[in-house]
Amino acid sequence: MEQDMETTVVDVPERGRFEVRQGEHVVGLASYHVENGQMTLPHTEVDPAVGGQGIGTALVAGVLSAARERGLTVLPYCSFIRRYILQHPELTDLVAPADRPHFGLETADH
């Protein structure tokens, strides 16, 4: 398997999703919907053929950094994204304080 293909995360707004690509191939996607300053993230999927290469992690990192750049909060309905945020507490602020309990993201500092 070629490891030199670049992994990129691309926003495809007309399809309502971010795609993660290896070279020209779409190997995963994260569907999203933006309304009232919030990015709803219901679903991510990665091609099982590229499992274990950090593709899903790269996808989620790209989506969350895009949300931050756009000044959006996120609603991480997707369990993979929730887990990622739990593992990276510095990203908890991307979820509005009122929404955190719903996603099991209460912080210990209140």
Confidence of residue 107 (pLDDT cuts 50, 70, 90): low
- Per-chain mean pLDDT for the chain: 93
Q: Is the dihedral of CA 94, 30, 79, 87 positive or negative?
A: negative
pTM for this predicted structure: 0.90
Find the radius of gyration of the CA atoms of the chain. Answer: 14
Q: What is the pLDDT of residue 108?
A: 54
CA angle 42, 48, 52 (to 5 degrees): 95
Range 83-98 average pLDDT = 96
Please name which of 1, 2, 55 lies closest in space to residue 30, comparing C-alpha atoms: 55
Look at domain 7-103 and name its CATH class. alpha beta
